[in-house]
Amino acid sequence: MTLRDPVSRRPLTPDTLHSLTDGARRWPVLDGIPFLRTGRATVVERVLAALDDGRVADAAAVLLADSDDWWDEAPPPPERLAAVYESAADPATTLRDAAAALGLGRVGDYFLHRDHDPSGLAVTALVATHPPAGRPVVDLACGAGHLLRRLVAEPGECAGATGIDIVFAKLWLARRFVLPTDADVRLVCADLRSPWPLEADGDAWVSCHDTLYFLPDPADVLQRAAELAGPGGAVLAAHCHNAGHPLGAAGHPRRPAEWAAMLPGAATYTEEELTAAALAPRPARPAVGTDLDATEAVALALDRAGAPPRESLLRPAPGARLHPNPLYRDGVREWPNPRWGDEYGGRAATYLPERLPAHIEHDEAVRRRVLVDLPGRW
C-alpha cells in the first residue's frame, strides 16, 4: 500500500523522524502512527511544533485528546494524557490501565472485551468464512487492532496489514498494548469521510466492522472499499445496524435491503447466525429469504476471488496463552457496564455460564469463550 497525502494525493515521504510530507504539507508521526486526519489543522500544527521542539509527551497529549464526532465526554487534562503516554514504557502498565487513564469509559470497556462479545464473535465468523487468504489486509475503523492481531498471528493469512481509524488514541492502544511488537502492521490515523491516504498496489482484502452505521454515507465508503480491493480482492462489513430491530437504534441504522444494496453481489449474513457459527465452530451460512428481517445487524461479504473458509481462524492463534475470560470477576460473570449488558449481555449469557465452571473440558471452555486469548498486557 502506498501512503498518500489525503488532500493533494501526492506520495508521502519522511522529512524528519517524526513527520511526513508531500513536498508542501507536513503531517506528524508519533510511535510510527501518521496523523493524517483532515479538518484538524490546529491539532497538526500543535503536534508538529511540539515534536520539532523535542516535547514528545506534549505532542502525545494533544493527539490522545483528539476524538471522533460521536464522543460526548471531555478528555482528561493534558498533563494526565502526557503521563499516560510516558507510563506505557513501564511493562507493568496494562491495556486496562491505559484505557481508564485516557478517559475512554464505555468505549474502553468495549475494546477490553471486543474479542469475546457476541458481535466480536460475529466478526470472527465472517472473517473465517471469507478470509484474506494471503492478500494484503486493510482494516478500516480498526479501533484498537483486535482483528489485525488475530490475522497477523495466523501463518500465511495476510501479506502485510494496514489499520485505519479516526481516533489516534485507539491506534496508540493497538500499537502499545494489543499488537505484537514484531507484527507487520501499519497504523494510520485518518477520516473515512475524506479521501483515503492509501493507494493499493494490487488486490486487497478490505474490512470495516461495527462502524458504517455511524457514517453519514456508508454507501460511499463501501464503494471506495470495493475499488481499493481490486478485481481479485474482498470487502467485508459486519454489524450494520438494522433499523427494524430494537437494538439497532444507535447511529444511522438502515433496513437490511438498504445495506445489501450498497455492496452489489455481496453475500449477506445475520448477526445471530455469525455468532452461532463462531461458537460451533463452523463457516457461517448466508441469509436466505426473510432471514435478515429480524436480525439485530447485517453483515456483508464480497470476495471476488472466492477464497475458501479458514476454520482455524475460529480458534485461538497458534501458540496462544489462554486465560479465564475477564468477564468473570471472582468467578462470577459480570458485564462491564449497564450499556454493555443491554446490548450484548442477553446473547453472551447463552454461551458464558453464570459462574466460572470448576470442571469443564478444555476444548469446550475455548469454544464457549470461558478461556480466551488476551494481549500480553491486557
Three-class secondary structure of residue 187 per DSSP: strand
Nearest alpha carbon to residue 129 among 9, 290, 299: 299
Is the peptide bond prior to 308 cis by the omega test (within 30 degrees of 0)? no
Q: What pLDDT, on the 0 to 100 scale, is given for residue 27? A: 98
pTM of the model: 0.96
SS3 content of the chain, % helix, strand, coil (to 5): 35, 20, 45
All domains in the chain, ordered by first residue = 2-105 (no CATH), 114-314 (3.40.50.150), 322-373 (no CATH)
Which positions ≥6 away from 246 have C-beta within 8 Å? Answer: none
Per-residue pLDDT of the chain (378 residues; tens, 9 = 90+): 789 999 999 999 999 999 999 999 999 999 999 999 999 999 999 999 999 999 999 999 999 999 988 888 889 999 999 999 999 999 999 999 999 999 999 899 999 999 899 999 999 999 999 999 999 999 999 999 999 999 999 999 999 999 999 999 999 999 999 999 888 899 999 999 999 999 888 999 999 999 999 999 999 999 999 999 999 999 999 999 999 998 777 778 999 999 999 999 999 999 999 999 999 999 999 998 888 999 999 999 999 999 999 999 999 999 999 999 999 999 999 999 998 999 899 999 999 999 999 899 999 999 999 999 999 899
Query: 300: which strand partners?
Result: 237, 268
In this structure, the dihedral spanned by the alpha carbons of residues 17, 185, 208 and 234, taken in order and rounded to 10 degrees, is 120
Q: What pLDDT, on the 0 to 100 scale, is given for residue 290? A: 85
Q: What pLDDT, on the 0 to 100 scale, is given for residue 205? A: 98
Written as one string, the DSSP assignment of 78-130 is: HHHHHHHHHHTTSTT--HHHHHHHTT-HHHHHHHHTGGGSHHHHHHHHHHHHS
Q: What pLDDT, on the 0 to 100 scale, is given for residue 73? A: 84
